[in-house]
C-alpha cells in the first residue's frame, strides 16, 4: 500500500524575489524544525549558519542564491517562515527589575506576546551606499550576507577589514568599474587598510545600520506599574 503524499500551502514574502517575480515558499516541516534546533544548540557559528541556510533552501521553491542573500532579507524570510509554519505569535518572558524598596527589585515575571507579522518592523538607518574616497574614486557598498557571519571565526586577518572588504560591491574609478568579486581577497583587504579613517568609519556605519527586524514597545509591570521599554533587534533577540 502506498502512503498518500502530503500537499503544502505556498506563500510569498514581500520584497523577496527570484528573477524579478515573487519567490515562493512552503512552511518548514518537522525535519526542518529539527535542523533549526541543531542551529540553536550549536556552539559553532559555521554549523549554525549552514543549518539556517539548509532550512531556507528546503523551504524556498525557487533556487534563490542563499549564500549571497543579504542578512536583512534572511531575517525577513525566517520571520515569515516561522509565522507560517508554527504560528504568528511568539511569547517572550522578562523580569521586572524596577527598584520598589531599598535595594529590592519588583521581580515580577511578565509575559508578552509578539505578533511576528503585525508588531515586528523592518527598519534601516542606512545612508547612501556610495561612499566617495576622493573626487575620482568611490565605493559602492552592499549589505552583509549570510556567509559574512562565518568570517567571525577567521583569525588570519583583521576582522573589521575582512568584513568591510566582503561588503564592497564595486570600486568606481572615474569611468572604470572594478568588480571586486574578481579581485584577490588579500589585494582587497590591502586596499581597505589604506582607506582614510573617516571613510572607513562611513563604511562601517553602513554595515552597522543595515536593515533588520525590530520590535519596540512599552510594557507596564502589572505589579509595580513601572513602564518597561522592550526592544528586540535581530533574529537572536527573537528566537534565542
pLDDT at 141 over 80: yes
pLDDT band at 160 (very low <50, low <70, confident <90, very high): confident
What are phi and psi for residue 61, nearest 5 degrees? -85, -5
pLDDT for 211 equals 87
pLDDT band, very low/low/confident/very high, at 212 (cuts 50, 70, 90):
confident
Residues 6+ apart with CB under 8 A from 213: 75, 76, 79, 120, 121, 122, 233, 234, 235, 238
pLDDT at 153: 59
Query: Which residues have CB under 8 Å from 195's CB, separation 6+?
Result: 133, 203
Region 79-91 average pLDDT = 92
* Cβ atoms < 10 Å from Cβ of 136: 9
pLDDT above 80: residue 45: no
pTM across the whole model? 0.81
What are phi and psi for residue 8, nearest 5 degrees?
-125, 145
Q: What is the mean pLDDT of the chain?
A: 88
How do the domains of the chain map onto residue ranges? 11-85, 89-118+217-239, 130-208
Half-sphere exposure of 156 (CA within 13 A, CB side): 4
Task: Tell me which of 19 and 109 has the higher pLDDT.
Answer: 109
Amino acid at each position: 500500500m502506498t502512503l498518500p503524499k502530503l500537499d503544502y500551502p505556498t506563500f510569498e514574502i514581500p520584497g523577496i524575489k527570484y528573477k524579478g517575480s515573487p519567490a515562493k515558499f512552503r512552511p518548514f516541516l518537522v525535519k526542518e524544525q529539527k535542523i533549526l534546533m541543531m542551529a540553536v544548540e550549536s556552539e559553532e557559528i559555521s554549523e549554525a549558519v549552514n543549518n539556517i541556510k539548509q532550512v531556507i533552501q528546503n523551504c524556498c521553491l525557487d533556487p534563490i542564491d542563499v549564500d549571497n542573500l543579504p542578512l536583512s532579507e534572511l531575517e525577513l524570510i525566517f520571520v515569515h517562515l516561522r509565522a507560517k509554519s508554527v504560528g504568528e505569535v511568539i511569547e517572550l518572558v522578562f523580569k521586572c527589575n524596577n527598584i520598589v524598596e531599598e535595594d529590592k527589585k519588583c521581580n515580577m515575571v511578565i509575559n508578552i506576546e509578539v505578533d511576528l507579522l503585525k508588531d515586528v518592523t523592518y527598519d534601516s538607518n542606512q545612508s547612501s551606499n556610495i561612499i566617495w574616497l576622493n573626487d575620482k574614486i568611490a565605493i559602492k557598498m552592499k549589505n552583509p550576507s549570510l556567509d559574512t557571519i562565518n568570517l567571525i571565526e577567521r583569525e588570519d586577518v583583521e576582522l573589521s577589514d575582512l568584513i568591510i572588504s566582503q561588503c564592497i560591491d564595486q570600486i568606481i574609478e572615474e569611468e572604470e568599474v572594478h568588480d571586486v568579486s574578481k579581485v584577490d581577497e588579500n589585494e582587497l583587504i590591502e586596499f581597505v587598510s589604506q582607506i582614510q579613517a573617516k571613510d572607513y568609519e562611513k563604511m562601517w556605519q553602513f554595515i552597522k545600520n543595515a536593515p533588520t527586524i525590530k520590535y519596540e514597545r512599552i510594557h507596564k509591570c502589572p505589579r509595580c506599574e513601572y513602564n518597561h521599554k522592550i526592544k528586540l533587534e535581530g533574529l537572536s533577540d527573537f528566537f534565542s
